[in-house]
Every structure is written in C-alpha cells, then in structure tokens.
Amino acid sequence: MRGLKTFTSSPTAAIQECVKYHKLSHCLDAIGLTKSSYRRWASEIGLCNKIKSPCERRKPSQLTEDEVSIMKKFVTGKKFAHISIASLHWLAQRTGELFCSQETWYKYVKVFEWKRPWKKEKKEIKKLGIRAKSPNEIWHIDVTEVSIAPKIKFYIQAIIDNFSRYVLAWRVTSDITAQGTVETLKLAHQKSSELLNTELSTEVMMDPGKENNNGKVIQFITSNNLRRTLAQVDVHYSNSMVEGLFHALKNRFLYHQKVKSAEDLLRKANFYFEQHNNVVPLAVHSGGKPIEVYKSTWNDSEKANLQENKKLAILARKNKNRQPPCESCPV
C-alpha cells in the first residue's frame, strides 16, 4: 500500500499517510497490526497536527487542552514563581482549577519543557530533621542577611513553628542585637496567644550567635515558660527548618525583586510570609495551609472533600475526552 514505505522509521506517521488513501482497518490489516496496538502507540503525549497542542483524544484520562493551559499558567507565571511545583499541585486543587496527581505535574513540565521564572536549583539530598507532633511544641528562630546594594544590607529575623510551618513573627532590621531577638520572640508569643490562646511550653531552637546567647534572651525565655535549645550544641539537629524558609524566600522571591529600601524589603517580606502562611498549600501537609494546620482546621473531612473534588474532575475529564474527535485526529 502507498504510505507504508516509511513504516519502520515512523509507524504512526506511515499509518496516518496510508489512511489518506484507504480505510484505517485496511491499513492495519495489511501490516498485521491490531487497532488496540495502534491506539497504544498513538497514546503517547504529542502535539496535534491541527492545533499544535496536546491531543485531547488519545487517552480519556489525560489532561484536556484547557487543563494543560491552566497548568502552564501556574508553572510559568511570575505570580506563582515563589511557589514550588509540589505546592502548585495542591494550590490548583484548593482553588478548584485543576485536579491531577503531583506526578502528572512533573511529567507535563518535563514533556513540554516549561521553565519556571527563576533558574532551577540543584537538588540536594535532604536529611530528616527534628519534627514536632503538635503546634507550639518547637519553634525555630534565625536571622538572614539581605543586600540591596553595595555596602547596604539589612536583616530579616523570623520564627517558624516546626509542626505547622506557620511563620509566627518576622522583623526587618539594620543590625543584629539581643533586644531584636527579644522583640521577635514577643511578636511570636503574641501571635500564638491571638491564634490559639493556650498556655505555652515551647522549645525554642536557635543558633549560638551573639544575638541569641545572652542574658536578655535567656531572661525573656525563662519568664515566659519557654525553653532555649542551641542547635548543634544542645542537640545534634541543625536549625534547618527556618534556614530553609529563608532559602526559599530569597531564591524564589527576593532575588527576583528590586528592593529599594528597608520599608520596601518589609513590604515584600510581609507579602511572602502572608502567602506562605495563608495561601500556599504545602505538600508536607497533603495540601493543607500552615494556618490551617496551626489552628487544627485542616482535618480528615477537608482532605476527603478535596479527594472527592479530584474524583469529579477526573470523571469530567474522561467524559470530555470521549466526545467525538476532531477531523484531524488519527485515532
């Protein structure tokens, strides 16, 4: 038959050429190929010859064209540049825009070679650090330096709850002092009382720097029913949780912003931490936001509701993909 000369190098292309002159069943019979095998070959994700986008007809369960566009918006949009793929996967579900597995996100990012608005970071082997079993069991406090111009730098000090990943307090300062640490601890104490209104008995993990290892800090901690733990001194664990928070803040957000002053830096820090606390779902919480986990409002009922919405989205996707194909579809 005409069109089968290139079969060995491009099977599906050869069959599609043959179909121009003969029925699909005749083409497949001529080479001894079953229709199911041909459909399996054609089920690989590729670009439709007509619309130059993923074919909607090849697998009922694969993402629709609209869903792929939504995923691309999340992955490549500058608005979401500070959010990881794992969290984008949950954010899309929480907003009701896209329901699919985390593996599907990574697969489509790879297949379509979508680029994040920032340079991809080199993956490092992660070691499991200390983990709390409830909110306010362990806090982490640390400070990071931010340079906005040659010889002009400021510091961001923050406290994060180990269990929920909720950032209880943060401050932007021009220097590092013991009084500054006390002020940050006061803010965290006030925020905790405001949100939970429970008596604290919290272990505060900090580095043995001059801003932490001093009389003022020790006095405040002991007088407020807190316990100080020096990372890699009193325990072998590091203060990596808050360090990871600062790493994400800088690499996913601040390094891609123009910071003009201390006030501008504070505004940007406010935006990032508010997003982190109240908007961005975390993979470690199976889609829960830090504020929900901290206040114990992210429960089995919420998780079940999210899973039910996911099932409905999958069913709707299959129904749409089972609709009659377009004229250019070879399947």
Q: What is the pLDDT of residues 59-112, one digit of tens each?
A: 677 888 899 999 999 999 999 999 999 999 999 999 999 999 999 999 999 888
What CATH code is assigned to 138-280? 3.30.420.10
- CB-based contact 207:142 (threshold 8 Å): yes
For Cα atoms 107, 108, 114, give the angle at the middle one, nearest 5 degrees.
120
**Domain range summary for the chain, segments of one domain joined by +:** 11-44, 51-117+299-330, 138-280
Would you say the C-alpha torsion 252, 231, 127, 300 has a positive or negative sign?
A: negative
- How far is the C-alpha of 77 from the C-alpha of 97, rounded, in Å? 15
- Smallest CA-to-CA distance from 97 within 126, 74, 124 is with 74
Tell me: pLDDT of 15 over 90: no
pLDDT on residue 51: 44
Q: pLDDT, tens digit, for every residue of 18-53? A: 878 888 888 888 887 777 777 666 655 444 554 445
Q: Does the structure show a pLDDT above 80 at 123? A: no
What is the chain's length? 331
pLDDT band at 156 (very low <50, low <70, confident <90, very high): very high
**Per-residue pLDDT band at 222 (split at 50, 70, 90):** very high
Is residue 122 very low, low, confident or very high in pLDDT (cuts 50, 70, 90)?
Answer: low
> Which pLDDT value is given to residue 202?
94
Those residues whose C-beta lies under 8 Å from the C-beta of residue 323, and which sit 6 or more positions away, are none
- Under 8 Å CB-to-CB from 317, ≥6 apart: which residues? 60, 61, 62, 63, 64, 67
User: How many whole angstroms separate alpha carbon 276 and alpha carbon 184?
Assistant: 18
- Read off the pLDDT band of 228 (50, 70, 90): very high
The confidence score (pLDDT) of residue 124 equals 61
Give the pLDDT of residue 27. 84
CA separation, residue 111 to residues 51, 103, 104, 106 (Å): 17, 12, 10, 9
DSSP-assigned states of every residue in 78-110: GGGTTS-HHHHHHHHHHTTS----HHHHHHHHH
